[in-house]
Structure 1
Amino acid sequence: MNDAGIISVLLFLINLFFTYRGLKDHSFFDAYKFDVDKILIQKQYKRIISSGFLHIGWTHFILNMYTLYAFSSSLELYVGLLPFLIIYFASLTGGSLFSLFVHRNHGDYTAVGASGAVSGVVFAAIALFPGMQLGFPFIPIHFPAWLFGLVYMLYTIYGVRSSRDNIGHEAHLGGAVIGMLTALFFQPAAFTENTFTIFIIALPTVIFIAFVLLKPQALLIDNLFFKSHDTHDSIDHRYNKQKAIRQKEIDAILDKISRKGINSLSEKEKQKLDDLSQR
């Protein structure tokens, strides 16, 4: 296995910075995590990307970064720096958008993790090097990359259906498909050379994606915060509900100003008024 390339190292450092800040500062974590209502209603589209650099804990971070290291070195060297970056961010974006589609009516759904992007790198590497041998530190056992990828995706499918964590398992699936397709776009000859392996790996993923597209209600699971989803509220309904809440907050602040003057507002209330007035 080659040493990690420069882009992989930079991605590791960015993930490390965001994860460290997020674990130390809840407000930072909350500002950048994947949040359906804040994306769809408040138009905070940055969360589609930024959530891919946060993790819920160091175990989650280490698993993702080890997987990135294991698969990225050969891929980055083979396809080049810019295509590798495109694969990574296309997978991250595709995974987040798939999660957004699946949970578009689950207003309280949140998730974090680089798994969408990493899954894209994994499946891009498998599409190009299905026979690549992998191993774990201090364990003298190696196995082909395609087997690792298959087990990884079966675990992801299990996680989507049964997990109560805050990891974006749907992003694994979306990222995997986008990563493989992007790699094949840059290296179309690989499809002919590795058709059978690509088919075997892609089949359970495609079947499950079709399942969640046809029956998204099957994914009504709680997340880390153990909340029940707002299952069938439309986007318009949730928007109007939040708009009414914001108007009520503005009215309360304006009422206080009329009674006691603007100097009676606390710094928090002034900031709140400023934020609400800009929306």
Structure 2
Amino acid sequence: MNSILDDFKIAFRSGNILNQIIIINVVIFVGVGVLGVLLTLVGERSAYFAISNHLMLPSNTDELWRQPWTIITYFFFHKQFFHILWNMLCMYWFGRIISEYIGQNKLLGLYVWGGIGGGVLYLVAYNFLPYFESVVDSSYLLGASAGVIAIVVGAATFYPDYTVHLLLLGPVRLKYIAAAIVLLSFIQSTGSNAGGEIAHLGGALVGYISVRQLQRGNDWSRPIVSFMVWVKSLFKPQPKIKVSYKNTRRSTSSKTSGKSEKKAKSKSAQEEIDAILDKISEKGYDALTKEEKQKLFNASKD
């Protein structure tokens, strides 16, 4: 058990956001599943349903007002094994593309905003479209699909001609995979999993717009990353303040010059990255040299 916990700690400390998202989804799935079995065995099945309902996004707005956090928790919660398996596999395959070419932080932004966008479109459809008002009294949304599809469409928007090798189909370009997913979700948006398919469309829309905005210099991931940094800081022990006095002018001047040099280097590196991003916006990723691609990759890990 200690070794498993150590593996989890290493995954989080390594800063690999892709692995962190997958681990959170799996831990919640296993934790709630085990709790459900235990509650059922002791005759408290209703308590399990109550817990599940407080994690899923309800279509009923009165219920939503009582549990607004579900607009976030729903895309970390799964009930079926194959549901989470498929979502996490797609997350891993396509998330690696996002992580490699535009960075881990952009991956987190796409997943969170995609999940929120999918949830919002689901609520709008179930509360304002006549079809759903007539056939559904109440519904619940769960699963990471909207965030995952935001990542798929975001990757296809950024690098449409990237080739993925699919089983039985062979090499397929990302833009065709994304287009097929969106088309199938739209066709099935009045079927048995209508809420999920509508959430897919919301996630796809957010993925497309988010990457287009990124190419114009607007990074939607920044508020998400800033919030996560703030949350992590709450759990870090604050260092004890040490006060020391020095009266050496030489050391002060050397420190000042050292800081100036660091600032100059940092500014120069940022200017290089901005120039590379401008080049991508104008000519596409394929126009970059090998050296520029390496610099962009190294900057994405910072």
Using the size of structure 2 for normalisation, the TM-score is 0.56
Matched, 1:16 2:21: no
Match of 1:29 in 2: 52
Deviations, residues 23-81 of structure 1 (Å, cap 9, x unaligned)? 44243322201112266554311111111112241111122112111211121232223
Structure 1 166/155 Cα, relative in aligned 2: closer, same or farther at 3 Å?
closer
Match of 2:73 in 1: 50
Matched, 1:146 2:175: yes
Match of 2:154 in 1: 124
Matched, 1:92 2:115: yes
Cα distance between partner residues in 2 of 1:40 and 1:17: 26
Structure 2 residues not aligned, in runs of 5+: 1-14, 37-47, 128-132, 217-277, 285-302
The Cα shift of 1:128 comes to 0.7
Contact 2:57 2:64 in 1 (8 A): no
SS at match of 2:190: helix
Match of 2:225 in 1: none
Contact 1:127 1:191 in 2 (8 A): no
The Cα shift of 1:187 comes to 1.9
2:142 to 102, 112, 117: 112
Matched, 1:173 2:201: yes
Cα distance between partner residues in 2 of 1:13 and 1:62: 12
Match of 2:291 in 1: none
SS at match of 1:99: helix
- With 117-126 and 46-55 compared, the bigger mean Cα shift is at 46-55
Query: One-letter code of the match for 1:16?
Result: V
Which runs of structure 2 are paired with 1:108-257 in the superposition (5 Å)? 108-136=138-166, 139=168, 141-162=170-191, 164-165=192-193, 168-188=196-216
Cα distance between partner residues in 2 of 1:56 and 1:155: 23
Deviations, residues 247-279 of structure 1 (Å, cap 9, x unaligned)? xxxxxxxxxxxxxxxxxxxxxxxxxxxxxxxxx
Query: One-letter code of the match for 2:18?
Result: S
Contact 1:83 1:186 in 2 (8 A): no
SS at match of 1:131: coil
Count of residues paired in the alignment: 188
SS at match of 1:130: coil
The sequence identity of aligned pairs, in percent, is: 20
Structure 1 140/122 Cα, relative in aligned 2: closer, same or farther at 3 Å?
closer
Query: One-letter code of the match for 2:210?
Result: T
Cα distance between partner residues in 1 of 2:283 and 2:200: 25
Structure 1 123/39 Cα, relative in aligned 2: closer, same or farther at 3 Å?
farther
Matched, 1:71 2:94: yes
Cα distance between partner residues in 2 of 1:157 and 1:184: 22
Contact 1:119 1:179 in 2 (8 A): yes
The Cα shift of 1:149 comes to 1.1
Cα distance between partner residues in 1 of 2:183 and 2:148: 15
Deviations, residues 100-128 of structure 1 (Å, cap 9, x unaligned)? 11112555111211111011101110001
Structure 1 123/160 Cα, relative in aligned 2: closer, same or farther at 3 Å?
same
Match of 2:255 in 1: none
SS at match of 1:32: coil
Structure 1 residues not aligned, in runs of 5+: 195-279
Deviations, residues 188-239 of structure 1 (Å, cap 9, x unaligned)? 3667657xxxxxxxxxxxxxxxxxxxxxxxxxxxxxxxxxxxxxxxxxxxxx
Match of 1:262 in 2: none
SS at match of 1:156: helix
The Cα shift of 1:166 comes to 7.9
Q: State the structure with more CA Rg.
A: 2
The Cα shift of 1:180 comes to 1.2
Using the size of structure 1 for normalisation, the TM-score is 0.60
Contact 1:36 1:103 in 2 (8 A): yes
Deviations, residues 87-146 of structure 1 (Å, cap 9, x unaligned)? 211111111011011112555111211111011101110001111111246x57221111
Contact 2:71 2:119 in 1 (8 A): yes
Contact 1:113 1:167 in 2 (8 A): no
SS at match of 1:160: coil
Contact 2:110 2:207 in 1 (8 A): yes
Structure 1 140/95 Cα, relative in aligned 2: closer, same or farther at 3 Å?
closer
